[in-house]
Amino acid sequence: MTGMAPDRTLPWDWFPGRVPDNVTIAQTAFVETTFSFLLFRSQRAEAMKVGHGASTYLGTMFDVGREGRVALGKFALVHGARIICEAEITIEDYALISWNVVLMDSYRVPSDPDARREMVRRVPEGKPRFIDRPLAGQPIRIGRAAWIGFDSCVLPGVTVGEGAVVGARSVVASDVAPFTIVAGNPARLVRRLTDAEIADGR
């Protein structure tokens, strides 16, 4: 990444952190702050790749577990999203991820309320304070030129197809077909993009 110091700090950064050694960032990409890596714990050799021209902005958090892997394609844009990854999350070329979007490839808390209560009791013991419960994730893929509207949540195992649009504040629990618009909780088909809209987007 242009401007990253040899010690992997960012000269413009307000946070005194550094880009993890197992994160590769293209020269033309932009990461606004190393605070985005505060909860990045992946131990994989190539845990994250940020492609040519991709951008991540303030508020984005890569909450990546020990076996997690994240990829941002060429010109992908992530603005203030939370990426919760235990397995793999792929955001393909030209995809747009709006603010307050959550992409989660696993459920960090148990479904049993007593077990959940006990886990929450242990949160204050951690530094930083968060829930770290390694689980087998189900990969998420956000297709080329897809657009995820603000405040949406994409659940484990979901693929959002190429050119698809997810309306704001949707909960995506199943795959989204390419070149469709979905919205709601749970997200449902609104309509397919017209041939003219698809051609205009390309």
Q: What is the pLDDT of residues 53-90, one digit of tens each?
A: 999 998 999 999 999 999 999 999 999 999 999 999 99
pLDDT value for 134: 61
37: which 2 tokens?
Answer: 């890596």
In whole angstroms, what separates CA 86 from the centre of its chain?
11
3-class SS at 124? helix
109: which 2 tokens?
Answer: 């808390």
Q: DSSP per residue over 92-116, as a string?
A: -TT-EE-TT-EEESS--S-SSHHHH
Neighbours of 56 (CB within 10 A): 25
50: which 2 tokens?
Answer: 């940020």
pLDDT value for 132: 65
Kindly tell me if the per-residue pLDDT of 195 is higher than 70.
yes
120: which 2 tokens?
Answer: 């929450």
pLDDT value for 1: 81
Q: pTM for this one?
A: 0.91
Do residues 34 and 59 make contact, with C-beta atoms less than 8 angstroms apart?
no
3-class SS at 49? strand
pLDDT value for 133: 61
In whole angstroms, what separates CA 199 from the centre of its chain?
27
In one letter, which amino acid is 58? Answer: L
In whole angstroms, what separates CA 175 from the centre of its chain?
16
pLDDT band at 3 (very low <50, low <70, confident <90, very high): confident
What are the backbone angles phi and psi of residue 33, rounded to the nearest 5°?
-150, 145
3-class SS at 26? coil
Domains of the chain: residue spans and CATH: 23-201 (2.160.10.10)
Do residues 4 and 30 make contact, with C-beta atoms less than 8 angstroms apart?
no
pLDDT band at 197 (very low <50, low <70, confident <90, very high): confident
Kindly tell me if the per-residue pLDDT of 118 is higher than 70.
yes
pLDDT value for 182: 98
pLDDT value for 121: 78
Kindly tell me if the per-residue pLDDT of 25 is higher than 80.
yes
